[in-house]
Chains A and B, each alone.
Chain A
Amino acid sequence: MRERITFFHPTDTGVLPENLKRDKGGLEAPVLETTREDRLTLGLDELPAEVASVLSGFSSLHVAWNSPVSYRTLEPFAARLSPGLHVLFQPTVAGMSDKSDLCSLLQVFSPRDCSVDKAISTTITGPGGSPQPKQFFQPLEELSHFAKWLSSEVCGAEDDACQSRAQRLLFAAGLDITYDAASKTAKVSAFWPLKQQSVSAPFSPHRRTEVGILTLGNPPNLAPDHVGVSGILTTLGDKKQPSPALFAFPARHKVSESHFSTTFLTPTGLHPTLQLSLDSNQPPKEDAECKPYAYLTLPKTIFADRFQLDGELFMASKNLTALRATSLPVDLEAPAYTTAAWGSSILLELAPPTSATNQPWTAEVPLHLRYLKPSASGLQSIEVPYPAVFWACSAEQGPEFSQNPFDRAHVGYDTLFESDTVFWHVEPRPEQGDRLVNTISVPVLNEHGATLIGVGTSVVVALGFGWVLWKLYSAIAQNGYQAPPKAAEEKKKR
């Protein structure tokens, strides 16, 4: 088991070496405005048997969670996802039912009755048509269930360090779990956003813990699309003094200087339009080919009609270029309550205004609501997570992103692009409050009418049917059913 704890702070703050306290308990420094990432690398044999058995159902697995609460970040932790829990996976046996393994995995993150609430995945196909992993998404507000599970199932009752670590997950903004059957290792990373927080890393004799306190730096000969980093690195329990470090690595995810927010145009009706408002139409990089995209993760209550998102005029009128990818299956008619799949995701290329001067702009995504179950108020509120909005730029010299010690791959949209694509993320800003979700009030049947509708429909249909029967009866009683002789004769003549 290996552990890596990394603090990234803005260049204008930092920790003076004399304030860094290292002792048997670990490492401590004063409160600092910084991000924090904890990464554990575990062998399959180091995992609890229960977890190992769930993982054995997957040949590869990527779980990524982002908090719906808006947060600030720094490079290299630039990647953004729609808030919620994303799972990308390949089952061990292709084509086998993946439901039970996926569902047992999901039970770790939220209460779920796998006998009724089956988790049905989808597959998104990119332009290349290369095989993609199965995908699943569910909204997840926080990691409390996961933390509880960790503390009771994984940490020993008296392992205080593990218990407090589980508790700290409640304040995390991101979580990544990566498992690869071939390497038999699982990596778990948790991320805490940029804010004032204490710098501390507890020492444990059971594992090797590396700590880095870093900031963006400028090493000489910094290659394009690389991130330079400077600061100090140390290994806990090591006698050596912390060593200064200056290094660089290629980065798949970068922070663009712009931001966006989304809102549903009102009235939303049954066919709401999601409006993306971006503050800039300028690509983040001058000398590369860059195009803006939105990757939408839509719960099953709402969907995009891939056949509608077509036609140059229509798309241009919404400031869209084209629908580049869509997950399947997506039923275009079914109500939410009979839809098995979790929902859908789409990748849209946006069409910014081409003016050379910077200008804010909007793009509109036409969506459709599914019918939801009746409710007592006649309305049902649904939440739609913010999309991930980014500029995808072609990189120079085909960088090896895997060299990046903080690389975040398999975030859903990255595999839909060429492998050397750099994603410049546009920062999501809440329209109101601090949550990165849009809410729609969906009109549904008022359940108070249930009895009346049942009885009333039957009575009216019965009366209508009775009336027609009566007219039929009186018609036959009066005139019989045979053709009048005259008419028959007339026909005979011809």
Chain B
Amino acid sequence: MIPSALFRPAPLFSIAAVLRFTLLVYGIWQDANSALKYTDIDYLVFTDASRLLAKGQSPYDRDTYRYTPLLAWLLLPTAGPSSSILFSFGKVVFALADLLAGWLLLRMLQARRGMTLERSGAFAALWLWNPMVATISTRGSSEGLLGVLTTGLLWAVEQRRTSLAGVILGLGVHFKIYPFIYAPAIIWWLDAEQTSGVVNRKKDSSIKDRLLNFITFARIELAITSLATFMLLNILMYSIYGHPFILHTFLHHVTRIDHRHNFSAYNTLLYLNSADPSASSWHAESLAFLPQLLLACLLIPLAIAKKDLATSMLAQTFAFVTFNKVCTSQYFLWYMVFLPLYLPSSSLLRNPRLGISALLLWIGTQGAWLQQGYQLEFLGNSTFFPGLWLSSLAFFATNCWILGIIISDGASDKTAPRTQ
């Protein structure tokens, strides 16, 4: 077992930082000495875009740049030659974002859940020491920024810093769209009980009273700040970069076909129907947004948000990713960041057999898909059907099962666990 002293903040963050620093340096070495690059292709897209920006061009002049210009702005120091040390600036930013997200997790674990330093450190280590997280950010994928935005959002809400939460929410949606699913959960959570401590659960209050009670200052504050941040950023970017900004950051996600193999259960169907739109009468994928948005934006927040906002956000993200039309392993980071907040009160930990089964199934079905994907991608075997299709469905079913467990845990009446 790991000595609990290591989970105190200083060693906790030192180890996390050393892990990232080592990977970063190793990555620089591998890039310089091997034809096989450590750096993620996406990072080359970001830095190409920053380079264009430095030359006074639009970041959208780089094919497949589908992000907010903020990212290219942020990475401007990388605009020099790729051999320069500054080229890694973005990776350092992403790695620092990881650490900041970890620090916010630690604060939230201690504050609301009243844990000891070591115990909260151990849960934060699930994120901070996670090799997958550290690898993804040091390879230059921007998902780490999403991690800090979503934990920052939750932290601000829990701290009752509603305006700050609104700004983070607006920024997050501008950045990657999906954080909009947290808006209904936070709005629902920000009731009078939370904001002023007034407990008003009279059954006989009229609909009019209830509506009036629903409209609280905090809710309006959040709505206005988030909407204003989101719109201001969009107007700013649109005024500078025009239509390509709207096209690549937002409309692209509406028009994309997503025919290439990925973890999504819809994937094979999307390929099939994109290739011959007239052949199949089954166009279930065109309704895919319904279960996804119903769960992520309405039903899960309704059922869980008031009881446990962090678990609600985890379950919403999990549902959003599971029911999405496209799903790659980077999306898993979106929900992984919430795991340290959920696991302390989770039946997956209380009941180790359940937890291990869930973990093994999650890894196993993913592994089956990866094996089929390898056969296809590298050996050229036609594994689309049935191999890839079945394994993506199995992975989907596993995720639904785990989602059910998270929902049950989040909805159960419980006070913050005090297991020390």
Contacts and interface: CB of A to CB of B under 8 A. Distances in A.
A267 B382 contact: no
Contacts of A465: 291, 295, 323, 400
Given A267-B378, A445-B275, A457-B265, A475 B280 contact: no
A313 B35 contact: yes
A335 B275 contact: yes
Contacts of B259: 335, 371
A271 B378 CA distance: 7
Contacts of B411: 472, 475-476, 478-479, 481
Nearest to A334: B257
Interface residues of B, number: 77
B307 A484 contact: yes
B380 A441 contact: yes
A486 interface: yes
B385 A453 contact: yes
Interface stretch (A2-10, A13-21, A173-181, A372-380): A372-380
Interface in A381-425: none
Contacts of B35: 313-314, 316-318
B10 interface: no
A444 B384 contact: yes
Contacts of B280: 450-451, 454
B412 A475 contact: yes
A449 B389 CA distance: 10
A333 B260 contact: yes
A445 B413 contact: no
Interface string A473-494: 0111011011111111011100
Given A443-B382, A468-B295, A487-B307, A461 B266 contact: yes
B268 A268 contact: no
Nearest to B306: A483
Given A456-B393, A460-B393, A471-B404, A485 B275 contact: no
A337 B275 contact: yes
A491 B34 contact: no
Nearest to B292: A465
A461 B383 contact: no
Contacts of B265: 457, 460-461, 464
A435 to B, nearest CB: 21
Contact of B380 (A267, A332, A463): A267
Contacts of B306: 481-483
A468 B377 contact: no
B277 to A, nearest CB: 10
Contacts of B382: 377-379, 443-446
A464 B376 contact: no
B303 A450 contact: no
A458 interface: yes
Contacts of B284: 454, 457-458, 461
A245 interface: no
B197 A269 contact: no
B407 A472 contact: yes
Interface in B383-420: 383-386, 389, 393, 396-397, 399-401, 403-404, 407-408, 410-416
Nearest to A272: B380
A455 to B, nearest CB: 7
A479 B380 contact: no
Contact of A450 (B272, B285, B397): B272
Interface string B108-134: 000000000000000000000000000
B204 interface: no
Output the residue of A371, A482, A483 with the most chain B CB within 10 A: A483
B300 interface: yes
Nearest to A377: B382
Nearest to B373: A270
Contact of A453 (B32, B64, B322, B389): B389
B299 interface: yes
B381 interface: yes
A481 B385 CA distance: 42
Contacts of A316: 35
B350 interface: no
A338 B274 contact: yes
B400 A267 contact: no
B281 interface: yes
B307 A483 contact: yes
A467 B307 CA distance: 21
Max chain B C-beta neighbours (<10 A), residue from A448, A467, A479 = A479
Contacts of A482: 201, 306-307
B303 A481 contact: yes
Nearest to B114: A490
Interface string A5-45: 00000000000000000000000000000000000000000
A64 B375 CA distance: 40
Given A441-B380, A457-B393, A488-B199, A472 B299 contact: yes
* Most chain A CB atoms below 10 A, which of B381, B383, B393: B393
B201 A445 contact: no
A465 B299 CA distance: 12
B408 A475 contact: yes
A267 B375 CA distance: 10
A171 to B, nearest CB: 37
Contacts of B380: 267-270, 441-443
Nearest to B398: A464
A479 B376 contact: no
A485 B201 CA distance: 10
A313 to B, nearest CB: 5
Interface in B340-367: none
Interface string A245-278: 0000000000000000000000111110000000
Interface centre among A308, A371, A441, A463 (most CB of B within 10 A): A371
A475 B407 contact: yes
Nearest to B403: A468
B302 interface: yes
Contact of A313 (B32, B319, B399, B400): B32
Given A313-B35, A461-B396, A488-B193, A271 B48 contact: no
Contact of A374 (B64, B266, B276): B276
Contacts of B401: 467
Nearest to B275: A373
B347 to A, nearest CB: 12
Interface in A327-355: 332-335, 337-338
B19 interface: no
A338 B257 CA distance: 10
A451 B269 CA distance: 10
A116 to B, nearest CB: 13
A161 interface: no
B174 to A, nearest CB: 23
Contact of B299 (A318, A335, A469, A487): A469
B377 A271 contact: yes
Contacts of A457: 265-266, 268-269, 282, 284-285, 389, 393
6 smallest CB-CB distances across A and B, nearest first, come from A454-B282, A475-B411, A378-B382, A317-B35, A464-B400, A449-B385
Interface of B: 32-35, 37, 41, 44-45, 48, 63-64, 82, 193-194, 197, 199, 201, 257, 259-260, 265-266, 268-269, 271-272, 274-276, 279-282, 284-285, 288, 291, 295, 299-300, 302-304, 306-307, 319, 322-323, 376-386, 389, 393, 396-397, 399-401, 403-404, 407-408, 410-416
Given A377-B382, A467-B400, 12 more contacts: A313-B32, A316-B35, A333-B64, A372-B275, A379-B382, A443-B383, A460-B396, A464-B322, A465-B291, A467-B401, A474-B408, A479-B411
Interface of A: 267-271, 307-308, 311, 313-314, 316-318, 332-335, 337-338, 371-374, 377-379, 441-446, 448-451, 453-458, 460-461, 463-465, 467-472, 474-476, 478-479, 481-488, 490-492
19 contacts: A269-B380, A311-B82, A371-B259, A372-B275, A373-B275, A373-B276, A443-B376, A443-B382, A445-B385, A446-B382, A453-B385, A463-B397, A464-B396, A464-B399, A465-B295, A468-B407, A470-B404, A487-B307, A490-B415
